[in-house]
Amino acid sequence: MKKQIKELTCRALHNAVAAYYVLDYLAHSFPVQLYEPFTAEGNLSSRPVFRDGQPVESREAVARRNELIERLASLPPVPGALDQIVQRFGTDLVAEVTGRSRRLVRWGDRLAVENRAASANLAETAAFMDDLKRVLVFSEAGGTGRSYHAELSARNRRLRVHYLLEPGWKADAAIQGLGRTNRTNQAQPPLFRPIATDVKAEKRFLSTIARRLDTLGAITRGQRQTGGQGLFRPEDNLESHYARDALRQLYLLLVRGKIEGCSLQIFEDATGLKLMDANGIKDELPPITTFLNRLLALTIDLQGVLFTAFEQLLNAKVEGAIASGVYDVGLETLQAESFVVTDRRPIYTHPATRAETRLLTVTERRRNRPVTLDQARDYLADARAVLLLNERSGRAAVQLPAPSLMLDDGEIERRVRLIRPMEHHHASMKMMDESHWQPADRETFAAAWNGEVVDVPEFADSILHIVAGLLLPIWKRLPNDSTRVYRLQTDEGERIIGRRVSPAWAANACANGASSLTPQEAFSALMEGRTVLDLAEDLQLRRVRVMGTHRIELSGFTDAMRDRLRAYGLFSEIISWKLRMFVPSDATGAAVLAKVLDHYPVVRIGEREAA
């Protein structure tokens, strides 16, 4: 029955819209005037033919126009989204809350027009909330003054999966619609799913609503995260400064001929945008909004080529910013099993108001949720998945394909994704070829994987250092590598909002200086990657990445120190014909580090610059 509704509505829509607009456009705008060739000053040209002052039509062009009109008129109608949903699932399953007063339905083998009463929307809403209908479709007419969330008092407390089909251009209206399924007193929050086709330029519209939602959230709530409802990813905003940087890099690659499938000439001819002048590449290149608008006029294939290259560059910019901790996500809420404030120290007091800036030491406890063996095996549903075992460490991993990365010089870096029990990361194919990862059979893989899962503790504790209270007077004294603002709630109910700082900054901010950093805190700070410890006798500890994994490396040692350092528990490897020494990254690392710091005290605590 639902299919018939959709077909009828779609046919009516097709005939009314497609016939009226497309066919009428062809009838009046298709070029049918006859032209004749002529020669002027040795140049062959053409001109329109007139007879008795009237233009002469080309019989061939008229025949082609009529044939095209007949072909378009004979095409099957394209259903609208609403009618497709109603037709696919049926009116017995779909509750429709829209402004339509009439719709096409199928009764048996016939199509009929159904009149909808003014109270139809109330009845449809009640049917959905009472779990009589599983699917709800609502438009802007049903997007205000109603609630469709998993209310605790309703029969239907199922998880809502909210598909955002047509977000429109009004950010406040989009928030109204999103708020219908995400409200207080609900059993569970919904899952938001923006819908887009594989036509690349369509992301232009999602980008606009994402930017406006973020802007509206920053104005009304003081945080971009709340405005966008967590619906969009950083890459979805195509008008951010990351996107502008990626676009300029795309222009440079086009000029150098590094974009496969689109030369500079093809790009300029298709978009009408000029990147070069007499002096070379222009200083004022076309802005991001112009580029995105011109994409809409390109062929689907050319859209795919340009937008794919642009997306790869944008993803690389965003991933780099997130990895280095400089990506601004606004006010971010920290969540864990437990937060306990273990130390409070005032580090600044305002002379006039006596308001304090405090350095808080917070113990964070998170529940470890390792990937089980069954979950790891589920990845084998992808035919490209490979089970791996590290010959040196005995660790197991699942290798999956990952998006390639476009480097600054236009080269494509092929990458894979490694899934491990407690982590996952990306690695280049070149790095994998040089590593000790080898394919493994299922039995060997299962034994190694389960061995790692068993060793994972139920909880993991870590130390956070939060600067809270009065921040503006000392804002410039805080680390400039990350300006993120976090909020959390402790077990006692205390709400904390402030800037997170590294253990190195916290140690230097206290009166005791470097001695206030315990071996466990030093180990955690080094593994976090933002701290460098300078030790006595010109030794230095810092985090490095070797074969895709993070390690703590001790550099600056002499030949006479090797045996002593090995006795402390450090291990060595020869990498690129050079001996390097590392602190174990497992549970024994803090104890090994304590022995090193006992013999080689910390001279200075430094902070690594963001990559």
Q: Is position 177 within any domain?
A: no
442 and 579 within one domain: no
Sign of the dihedral defined by the CA atoms of residues 159, 165, 166, 170, in that order: positive
Strand partners, 261: none
419 and 530 within one domain: no
Looking at 456, 474, 492, the residue that finishes a domain is: 456
Contact yes or no for 104/111 (Cβ under 8 A): yes
543 and 607 within one domain: yes
Q: Is position 537 within any domain?
A: yes
> Domain containing 324: what range?
200-331
The reported pTM is 0.53
444 and 524 within one domain: no
What is d(CA 135, CA 146) in angstroms, rounded to the nearest whole number? 16
The residue among 271, 273, 205, 198 whose CA lies nearest residue 239 is 205
What is d(CA 255, CA 275) in angstroms, rounded to the nearest whole number? 8
Sign of the dihedral defined by the CA atoms of residues 516, 519, 524, 528, in that order: positive
411 and 301 within one domain: no
102 and 25 within one domain: yes
Looking at 118, 142, 166, the residue that finishes a domain is: 142
What's residue 15's pLDDT? 44
What's residue 214's pLDDT? 59
Q: Is position 162 within any domain?
A: no
What is d(CA 605, CA 602) in angstroms, rounded to the nearest whole number? 7
**Residue 364: Cβ-neighbour burial (10 angstroms; 0-12, 13-18, 19+):** middle
Strand partners, 439: 388
Q: Is position 108 within any domain?
A: yes
273 and 394 within one domain: no
Question: What is the b/e burial string over 300-337, where b = at least 16 CB atoms within 10 angstroms of the residue's CB?
Answer: eebbbbbbbbbbbbbbbbbbebeebbebeebbeebebe
What is d(CA 397, CA 130) in angstroms, rounded to the nearest whole number? 46
Contact yes or no for 49/34 (Cβ under 8 A): yes
What's residue 531's pLDDT? 79
Q: Is position 133 within any domain?
A: yes
Q: Is position 298 within any domain?
A: yes
The residue among 173, 171, 170, 122 whose CA lies nearest residue 148 is 122
132 and 14 within one domain: yes
* Residue 456: CA count within 13 A, CB half-sphere: 18
Q: Which residues contact 69 (CB under 8 A, 6 or more apart)?
A: 23, 26, 27
Q: What are the average pLDDT values for consecutive 10-residue runs of the chain, which has 611 residues?
A: 38 46 83 89 87 90 90 76 79 88 74 82 92 90 81 92 75 74 85 76 72 53 44 68 87 89 90 88 87 86 88 80 62 82 87 86 91 90 89 89 72 85 84 87 92 89 88 78 78 88 76 58 81 84 82 90 90 86 86 88 68 42
515 and 452 within one domain: no
7 and 108 within one domain: yes
Tokens standing for residue 177: 């619609």
Give the DSSP per-residue string, 309-375.
HHHHHHHHHHHHHHHHT----SEEE---SEEEEEEEEEEEE-TTT--EEEEEEEEEEEE--PPPHHH
258 and 316 within one domain: yes
Looking at 124, 142, 160, the residue that finishes a domain is: 142
Q: Is position 362 within any domain?
A: no
Q: Is position 32 within any domain?
A: yes
516 and 445 within one domain: no
Number of domains in the chain: 4
